[in-house]
Chains A and B, each alone.
Chain A
Amino acid sequence: MGLAAEKGKVAEILNSTRKEGRRELMELESKRVLAAWGVPVNRTELARDISEAVKFAREVRYPIVLKIASPDIIHKSEAKGVRVGLSSELEIRQSFGDLIDNARAYKPDAKILGVTIQEYLPPAREVIVGALQDPSFGATVMFGLGGVWVEVLDDISFRLAPLSAEDAREMIQEIKGYPVLAGIRGTPPADVGALVDIIQKVGQLAHEFSEIAEMDLNPIFTFDDGKGAMVADARIILVESK
């Protein structure tokens, strides 16, 4: 796929979100944008009813992750809308109804599309890659380790987009928690090369589409060196329309 085709595909998803009067892309939409741009995301399918859920679960293969799909619910965990590691049809049938009920209780007027069936990712080192538009400098990329590293310790690095591989590598190495990725006490190093690639792509995406106000790829599962990295959840927010 050439760059023009990729751009067209991203623009299409952004436009359809706008047309519905929304600024926040759903997880599914955000992942489609990222996938179109060449960023690896875990397989994510929208199931509108139980039978679709069962069908996709078989396709994606157990165990799977189930998440509520609603344009009105951004914080899915808060709405008790996430189940991780389901491994049978029975569990899916039970969880489907539970998630819909939980969503209704959380936000009665929420428009609910169904649930997403997602590929379960084995435990890995979790990182966050984000992007924002600075009013004076433009597209800017952010990197940090997941969990307390970013939230409590404010251990984040930034660079202006677009960035070189060297820039991306530097921003990974510059955080205090870098030894976690480099490998400590016998743990093998994480696939930093895969992260460099994701960071560069997120930078390009934010640079090409200034209508993307914010991006948050959180978490990204980073596997051991040579085994890649994969986005497990993502959020894209558009700038306010003029």
Chain B
Amino acid sequence: MSNEVKAIFEPKSVVLVGASDGIREGIVSPAFFHSLVHNMHRFEGKTYVVDLSGKLEGAIKNLNQVPKGRDLAVVVLPSKLVMKNWRNLLNLVMKAIVLVAGGFDQQQREELARGVAKRKVCILGPNATAGVINTSKGLCATLERGFMPSRGGIAVISQDSAVGMAILDWARFHGVGVGKFASTGDSVDVTEADLLEFLMHDEETKVICIYLQSVRDGRRFLGLIREAVKKKPVVVMKGGTAQDERDKIFAAYLKQVGAIRVDIVEELLGVADALAKQPPMPGDRVAVVTNADGAATLVADALSRKEFALAKLSDKVTKKITRKYQDINIVEWVDLGIGAKADRYKFVLEQVLSDHGVDGVVVMNELKLSFLEPEDVQAIAEVAEKSKDKPVVSVTMAVGAGVLVREAVKGKNIPVYDSPEKAVLALDALRSYWKTRTRVEKGV
């Protein structure tokens, strides 16, 4: 199925099918269809807009008028109209059909599945309301406007569309890059496992995030995660745990196959951002570099809760730093002083990263609302981007200042968090992935 699944993310041509009249409410309403058409304006391939009601200006009125052999169709029609046009859709499309609306009964679902069984066409959905995104191709087949995130190495699979949209919105708002996104909905054909199988081989994807509510064919799904983590990390968030007595068992399965589990959207993307931008963490020893002495206490607390240790810098490194900057104070952490500038951050971070007693670094950058100099933050990012075997994550605790800091390092490979806990959770995931990789390499 991989070739057809590929066409979901990388179609050369897309047909958008809707009916902008007659239906006023819900998923198939004209407002959503118009948003879809709008969202696709940056698509680099060919887009055909078909409005079966014939009302939308400039749109094609009939499926028969679209040249046959198109790669992908995104269909925003109620179940009844989908079934009525099913044969035409199948004749039109060569590879994949996204069914946005839900509400298909069992008989209709079977008919859908039968329709594609004989051909090399796959179905995403029905009820795949949040649609599909591939930022590097300008493909944005979603129903709400303004949800296109910036480019990045994170791929997101969401069974639920509203949760999927929330993930996209969070990513866009926080400047976290998402390369590919798909909502699977009711999965009469393509499942999250099929998408996982595609994404694990996808060069652009550095991290795979999955939001699940139920698992079909659990054994295959786990087997695929086990394969995927050999190449890239997989982060899983699961809904419906309160009603599930077996959740503890599911947690154990995920651990066994090397997936990283999180509980909330913020953690999902926070952790994924670090996994996409920084190397895995080879141990437990964390150096904290800060411009606010007191605030580092909170980092130390958060580290201790996740069973990290504060790294003890070697005499050599300590001397090198204090010889150059006599006022830098190194006890439990490295206190640069509140006015620390780019040169200081850069020099100290380089020294700290060169220390064999350090496995990873949390760098704090506080009190930036009044006097942020973008180059100070960019210096941190520069060092972090060069570090190939130890991760660097950054914290700016105030949310407002965090926005400024993130803006200054936009597109750079350093994750920025607004709390020590989130930064430490990111390190925890990087450490967990290092363990997984080590296990895989040892072949156990």
| A residues adjacent to B (C-beta < 8 A) | 134, 136-138, 140, 156-160, 163-167, 170-171
Q: CB-nearest residue of chain B relative to A171?
A: B252
Across the interface, do A138 and B444 meet the contact criterion of CB distance under 8 Å? no
Across the interface, do A134 and B444 meet the contact criterion of CB distance under 8 Å? no
Q: CB-nearest residue of chain B relative to A136?
A: B218
Given the complex, which residues of B lie within 8 Å of A170, measured CB to CB? 256
Which chain B residues numbered 223 to 258 have a C-beta less than 8 Å away from chain A?
246, 248-250, 252-253, 256-257
Could you pull out 29 A-B pairs where Cβ atoms are within 8 angstroms?
Answer: A134-B218, A134-B246, A134-B249, A136-B215, A136-B218, A136-B219, A137-B215, A137-B218, A137-B222, A137-B249, A137-B250, A137-B253, A138-B218, A138-B219, A140-B249, A156-B248, A157-B252, A158-B253, A159-B252, A159-B253, A159-B256, A160-B219, A160-B222, A160-B253, A160-B257, A166-B439, A166-B444, A170-B256, A171-B252
Give Cα A156 to B246, complex, Å: 12
C-beta contact mask, B204-227 vs A, less than 8 Å → 1, else 0? Answer: 000000000001111100100000
The B contact surface, by secondary structure, is: helix
Across the interface, do A165 and B444 meet the contact criterion of CB distance under 8 Å? yes
Given the complex, which residues of A lie within 8 Å of B444, measured CB to CB? 164-166
Given the complex, which residues of B lie within 8 Å of A167, measured CB to CB? 256
Partner of B249, one of A158, A164, A165, A166: A158
Give Cα A171 to B252, complex, Å: 9
Q: CB-nearest residue of chain A relative to B256?
A: A159
Given the complex, which residues of A lie within 8 Å of B256, measured CB to CB? 159-160, 163, 167, 170
Give Cα A134 to B439, complex, Å: 26
Given the complex, which residues of A lie within 8 Å of B253, measured CB to CB? 137, 140, 158-160
Across the interface, do A158 and B218 meet the contact criterion of CB distance under 8 Å? no
Give Cα A164 to B215, complex, Å: 24
Which chain B residues numbered 252 to 280 have a C-beta less than 8 Å away from chain A?
252-253, 256-257
Given the complex, which residues of B lie within 8 Å of A160, measured CB to CB? 219, 222, 252-253, 256-257
Given the complex, which residues of B lie within 8 Å of A171, measured CB to CB? 252
- Determine how close the nearest CB of chain A comes to the CB of B229; give it in whole angstroms: 14
Give Cα A236 to B257, complex, Å: 27
- Determine how close the nearest CB of chain B comes to the CB of A239; give it in whole angstroms: 17
- Determine how close the nearest CB of chain A comes to the CB of B216; give it in whole angstroms: 7
Give Cα A171 to B249, complex, Å: 12
Given the complex, which residues of B lie within 8 Å of A158, measured CB to CB? 248-249, 252-253
Give Cα A167 to B253, complex, Å: 10
Q: CB-nearest residue of chain B relative to A158?
A: B252
Given the complex, which residues of A lie within 8 Å of B249, measured CB to CB? 134, 137, 140, 158
Give Cα A137 to B222, complex, Å: 8
Across the interface, do B252 and A137 meet the contact criterion of CB distance under 8 Å? no
Across the interface, do B217 and A136 meet the contact criterion of CB distance under 8 Å? yes
Given the complex, which residues of B lie within 8 Å of A164, measured CB to CB? 444
Partner of A137, one of B219, B248, B439: B219
Give Cα A136 to B248, complex, Å: 15
Q: CB-nearest residue of chain B relative to A132?
A: B249
Give Cα A140 to B246, complex, Å: 11
Q: CB-nearest residue of chain B relative to A142?
A: B249
Give Cα A170 to B256, complex, Å: 9
Given the complex, which residues of A lie within 8 Å of B252, measured CB to CB? 157-160, 171
Which chain B residues numbered 108 to 127 have a C-beta less than 8 Å away from chain A?
none
Residue picked from A137, A138, A167, most chain B C-beta under 10 Å: A137
Give Cα A140 to B251, complex, Å: 12
Q: A137-B222, A160-B219, A164-B444 are in contact. List 19 more A-B contacts (CB 8 A).
A: A134-B218, A136-B218, A137-B219, A138-B218, A140-B249, A140-B253, A158-B248, A158-B249, A158-B253, A159-B252, A159-B253, A160-B222, A160-B256, A163-B256, A165-B444, A166-B444, A167-B256, A170-B256, A171-B252
Q: CB-nearest residue of chain B relative to A138?
A: B219
Given the complex, which residues of A lie within 8 Å of B219, measured CB to CB? 136-138, 160
Given the complex, which residues of A lie within 8 Å of B439, measured CB to CB? 166
Give Cα A171 to B222, complex, Å: 18
Given the complex, which residues of B lie within 8 Å of A134, measured CB to CB? 218, 246, 249
Which chain B residues numbered 177 to 209 have a C-beta less than 8 Å away from chain A?
none
Given the complex, which residues of B lie within 8 Å of A156, measured CB to CB? 248
